[in-house]
Amino acid sequence: MALRLSISDTGFAQAFDALVNARREADADVSADVRAIIQDVRDQGDDAIARLTSKFDRHDLEQTGWRVDKAESAAALEDLEASLRVALELAALRIRDYHEGQLPDNRDYIDDAGVRIGARWNAVERAGIYIPGGRAAYPSSVLMNAIPAKAAGVERIIMVTPAPGGYINPLVLAAAELAGVDEIWRIGGAQAVAALAYGTEKIRSVDVITGPGNAWVAEAKRQVFGVVGIDMVAGPSEIVVVADGKNDPDWIAADLLSQAEHDPTSQSILFTDSSKFAEQVAVKIDEQLAILATSETATTSWKDNGAIIVVDRFEQALPLIDRLAAEHLELAVDDPDALFRKIRHAGSVFLGRLTPEAVGDYVAGPNHVLPTGRRARFSSGLSVTDFMKRTSFIRCDEQALANIGPAAVALAEAEGLPAHAASIAKRLGRR
């Protein structure tokens, strides 16, 4: 049974601390295994990729094909059932519009000292996107990773995805075609991340790797960071729902289970100011679990990691919500903006009773690749700037250098760096 708490309970603080600090990642320490896989790929290149693919995904790349033919992804889009294609195109359009609006402006100006300063943004040359292919097919993840890269101006987008038995869901291929992915490779796991980071004979290295994956993929991204950029190290999915008694308990139960069905380690938490409503939601969750196709996963997630927390008033929940810093936050109350203004930490926020988190997973527009594991305290969701870098520039004329140079000389000398000081002082005519 999911955890039930009331803020008035004796021992609430300790119980909530345990909820916040609970470790939901896989118990196995995968770092050593991942390190070995990465080294294997660096040492043996494509031979390692082929061997590991045969071991984990049960297919021979020489027979099934390393790379998906462009004609195959084009055909997948062409053959897509009409209503599904319309839905995919709507999602792509909205995601593209939102992310194109994120493009940063360059800066170029002359300040009061006469120094020309500014910054110019450029896209990385090549981006790698990892798309899961194990538990389910996620065309939405293709759109959410590839479209921001394309909007940023990335020259080449390389997609890797595990293909159990050599099979990739046509819907994933259709999404890749629609999003403008340039290369698709039938490889997954830590070995795919290593190939993207270091390159092999067949696969060119990239500059940035984004996209979700299991514990091995997340750890591989962590280990290659610095060789390449990454979006984030993501953990299990999370949702916090704040709902008063005016909501339909059936709706809120579905919202909580929308994350619970992702993975047994996902977490769903409800804050409500009504004990009666809390009980109604609990009943509806049991009813929905009984008929849900993903019931086995969702039931484990809800029983092991779920929680219903009753507060006297929602202001009491605000510091608790900030401590959780959840990936997704729903505010299903009369005035969601009033609460939203007081919240500091959340990956993405869904305002009002008619805005379920699931709409953000597909067609709302903002990215669904979001920080988990309380990382919303210091990081943000995937954006176009994850595929870009900023280069600053400076230009001094004689007067500008005369205005600011002496201060730089003084600081360089104070730091014990005489060559720094001399490079400026010589231009000032001092040495």
Active site residues: 327-328
How many Å apart are CA 250 and CA 276, to the nearest integer?
A: 14
Amino acid identity, residue 19? L
Beta carbons of 269 and 275 less than 8 angstroms apart: no
Beta carbons of 389 and 124 less than 8 angstroms apart: yes
How many Å apart are CA 34 and CA 221, to the nearest integer?
A: 10
How many Å apart are CA 137 and CA 132, to the nearest integer?
A: 7
List, edge to edge, every strand of the sheet that includes 107-110.
107-110, 116-123, 388-395
Beta carbons of 69 and 191 less than 8 angstroms apart: no
Beta carbons of 244 and 275 less than 8 angstroms apart: no
Task: Please name which of 295, 224, 250, 185 lies closest in space to residue 39, comparing C-alpha atoms.
Answer: 224
